[in-house]
Amino acid sequence: MQSWAQIVADVQLNWWLYLSMPFVAAAIGYVTKIVAIKMMFEPIEFIGIKPFLGWQGIVPRKAATMASIACDTMTSRLIKPEDIFNKLDPDRIAREIEKPLLAAVEDITREVASVYSPGLWEAAPEAVKRLIISRIQHEAPNIVRAIMIDIKQNIDSVFDLKDMVVSNLLRDKPLLNRIFLEAGSGEFKFIRNSGIYFGFIIGLVQAVTWAVTQNVWVMPLFGLFTGWFTDWLALKMVFNPKHPTKYFMGLIEWQGLFLKRRAEVSAEYGRLIAKEIVTSRNIIDAVLKGPLSDRLFNMVQKQVQKVVDEQSGIAKPFVVFAVGSTKYQAMKRLVAEEIMKRLPDTMRHIEAYAADAMAIEETLATKMTELSVEEFEGLLHPAFEQDEWILIAVGATLGFLVGEMQVFVMEHLAKKAPEVQSALQLLIG
């Protein structure tokens, strides 16, 4: 440990080195935060030699877990399938798709008739064909209404919201990254900038400690501490305390930044989810093509068979006789299959109406304000909690290495102190 006179003399001789310490520490804090944030989200796919020699962003690597956690909160507290579909009017949907539906019905009728009774259909006058087609077209909107009512009454059997959300997020990992990055943009900016402030303060302490001890371990150890402590503290300050709390005899009040920005985060989160995931197109596709689509087919088949039987009317025995009982049942099934094939394209015509009616963005933003503090925290915190110790360890390691470089530079420059000081005096003078 140096005497007071030695400390003063050393500071006077190497003042530019002491002046640089807080700025270098601030740079360490800032760079380690940038690295930590980058490591959370990049690269999207694993780079290196699996399983241990390499890296994949924490969020993409834990995509299934992240998506499941986000979805659990969303489906249990924010949106329920019945809330979505109860806003849809079966009559309005029938009107929206009437034109493409009528064209599809005509194609289906001609195709089925030519397959199951080619001779009779080809021989029939065009007027008779038009009459049959028009009767089925007349009933087509009723099929749509009946199917929509069936779906609304049995929504859990035909639509799996969680599967839709998780599937879309797993399929598009950059989208999962965007949700965390954009919803938490304020938090990531704070984490990044906090490294400068915290690092600068630690650098001041580092300068004093170096002046007193001149120990070569001061720089690397303070670098390590700066990288570790600023990462750890920034992450803690994003989510803690959960409620506004006063510190330093009431002079400073702080609340976890993510929780403090609740209204802003809710609006942004609602916008992203409604625009990118729980869209009318994704919902329609999930119903038509999702894991429960077989049940939807059964609904469609039930309604089609009912209409075909009704339209056959008194002629049904003759139709059955003409094509055979087995063929008659197969014909009804083919009609249902053809309708299912055309439904995805037909249903595109209701996307604009469905988006307005379901009002996903407004619903999410409103419901998010009703979440408890713990539930709200769970929307973003998983991105930080997963392997955050790795991020902190990387920050500490980088800080240590920079500290070692500081020692090397300082010892090298200290030898040339007289020359450097003379040059600075010339520049100043």
The predicted model gives 116-137 an average pLDDT of 66
Give 49-96 pLDDT, tens digit per residue.
887 788 888 888 888 877 777 777 777 777 888 877 888 888 887 777
Angle at CA 399, nearest 5°, toward 189 and 411? 135
pLDDT (tens digit per residue) in 319-328 = 554 455 666 5
Q: How far is residue 349's CA from residue 289's CA, in Å, rounded to a whole number?
A: 17
Give me 244's structure tokens: 């506004």
Q: Confidence band (pLDDT; 50, 70, 90) for 311?
A: low
Q: Which amino acid is at 67?
A: A
Alpha helix (H) ranges present in 246-372? 257-260, 262-276, 280-289, 293-312, 316-323, 325-347, 351-358, 360-368
Evaluate whether 210 touches 406 at the Cβ level (below 8 Å).
no
As a whole number of angstroms, the distance between CA 76 and CA 372 comes to 13
Are 181 and 188 spatial neighbours (Cβ–Cβ below 8 Å)?
Answer: yes
In DSSP terms, 54 is beta-bridged to: 48
- Mean per-residue pLDDT for 300-329? 57
Q: How far is CA 38 from the centre of its chain?
A: 17
Q: Are 97 and 367 in contact (CB under 8 A)?
A: no
Are 143 and 105 in contact, with CB atoms under 8 Å apart? Answer: no
- d(CA 219, CA 202) in angstroms, rounded, equals 11
CA separation for the pair 70, 378 (Å, rounded): 7
Residue 43 has pLDDT above 60, yes or no: yes
pLDDT of residue 39 exceeding 70, the answer is yes
- How high is the pLDDT of residue 22? 86
Encoding tokens for residue 24?
Answer: 């270098």
Question: How many whole angstroms separate alpha carbon 149 and alpha carbon 92?
Answer: 12
Amino acid (one-letter) located at 252: I
Position 329 scores a pLDDT of: 63
**Beta-bridge partners for 247:** 252
Considering only residues 208 and 313, tell me which one the structure prediction assigns the higher pLDDT. Answer: 208
- Residue for token pair 């009528």: 102
Note the pTM of the prediction, 2 decimals.
Answer: 0.67
Stretch among 86-100, 302-316, 388-402 having the lowest mean pLDDT? 302-316
For the segment 164-211, what is each residue's pLDDT rounded down to a tens digit?
A: 888 888 888 888 888 888 888 888 888 888 888 888 888 888 888 878
